[in-house]
Amino acid sequence: MRVSPVGPAALSLAAALATAPRTRAADAPAPAAEAVAPVATAVKLTLSDALQRALAANPTVAVAVAEIDRASALIKQARAGYWPTLTANGAITRLDSDRLSGPPGGPFTIVQPITQATANLTLAVPLVAAQGWANTRRAESNRRIADASAADIRRQVAQATARAYLTVVAEHRFVAAVETARGNSKEHYDYAHTRFAGGIGRAIDEVRAAQDLASVERQVQSTYVALAAAREALGILVAADGPVDTVDEVDLGVVPTLAQALDEARGRRTDIKLSEQRLHGAEQAKNDVWAYYAPYLSAAIVPAVADPPTALLPKFGWNAQLLLSLPLYDGGLRTGVSHERSALVAEAELNLSAQMRQAASDVRITFEAMLRADQALVSAREAARLAHKAYELATLAYRAGFNTNIEVLDAARQARDADTGVAQAEDSSRQARLDLLVASGRFP
């Protein structure tokens, strides 16, 4: 907060000093330079727009969508295990001579001509293909898992985007705090320099004021760098070609009560839904072990043509075949598969149970963190108000000649720290609300 002299005596002194010649002690440092403007111009987005852009263009989300397409393709591959197949075959056979058959001295019959061309179509129709059915169900289950995984990845990207957005908002608050501190420090330096130049001040006061202004200027530049980094990070998340800035006000939505958050967590959290889909898929795979014991039955129809025909191969003909395959002994493969899938079910159950406990814990801790952060914010704002009041009083006392500028500089540092504390407390409060919404499944 900037302070002006108060009272008739202070006003008269300030007017007299303003007209005095402005000379500086030889060893007094020059005041710090003004902050340079940001190099890159950032596009401003609301939180809703930033989330929409991140979910539509972020590469991580695009990869998750591609995994869904891959899972759909695997379903088609699995269906080939019980769908009909049609194959065309052709062959040309060349012998060293005709193959003849008959009594010695003749007459002879050509059994295999020296050159023969044959062709056929083979239509194979699986009638009982248990493993193909089981593999298809498993592929469909994997597709549902891919859907749930994509939803969870969208949640993670949205959460990261919201955190980056809130970080940019907080950095703007930090910039505002240090800009206010720089204004106060510059005003104090100008006053100390004017007093010294007018012959009624001390060189030590000017040097102290100049040193404080330089320190504040360093903080200003560091804060602008942090703001630029935060805007660039937000731009990466929303797949922008440059930095992205925020609007001043952020609406995260309605915050649930503790009871509502605990009740909604299981039904709305995408990570829990993903664990449930994995458990369902593991149970389905375990139940489909019977397919390894089932027979395989298929029918094949083969129309054929031969040129020239022989006694064994007519010019046109066909044959049909039923093929039954029954696995009797496989060296322990089926038993091993059964034990493996039982273990996967047990693991999925343990993971889901742990996820449920973690979700409830997340809700409780984030709810308490939100309450504590709100209380801390109230205290931080009150501390900032009192710190600025102390700074005003110290400035007035210094200008009235009742103390040195050491008290002013100390009060100014405390006011800067208090403003920074308010910005940090505001950010903690917003982040705590975001964490609660994520923990309850309400965000995004």
Lowest mean pLDDT among 12-16, 118-122, 257-261, 414-418: 12-16
Instruction: Give pLDDT, residue 8.
Output: 39
Question: What is the predicted pLDDT for the residue at 311?
Answer: 72
Q: What's the pLDDT score for residue 4? A: 38
Using the predicted structure, report yes or no on whether residue 58 has a pLDDT greater than 60: yes
Q: Which of these ranges, 192-206, 329-343, 346-360, has the smallest mean pLDDT?
A: 192-206
Of the ranges 9-18, 42-51, 157-166, which is most confident? 157-166
On the question of pLDDT at 221 being above 70, the answer is yes
**Into which CATH architecture does domain 33-81+130-294+333-440 fall?**
Up-down Bundle (1.20)
Lowest average pLDDT, out of 12-16, 30-34, 56-60, goes to 12-16
Q: What is the per-residue pLDDT for 400?
A: 86
Q: How confident is the model at residue 95 (pLDDT cuts 50, 70, 90)?
A: confident
101-117 tens-digit pLDDT = 777 767 777 777 888 89
Where residue 18 falls among pLDDT bands split at 50, 70, 90?
very low
Would you kindly state where each structural domain of the chain is located, as residue ranges?
33-81+130-294+333-440
pLDDT at 313: 80
Average pLDDT of the segment spanning 133-150: 94
Give me the percent of the chain exceeding a pLDDT of 70. 91
Which pair of structure tokens corresponds to residue 205? 């006061």
Say if residue 14's pLDDT is above 90. Answer: no
For the whole model, what pTM was predicted?
Answer: 0.79
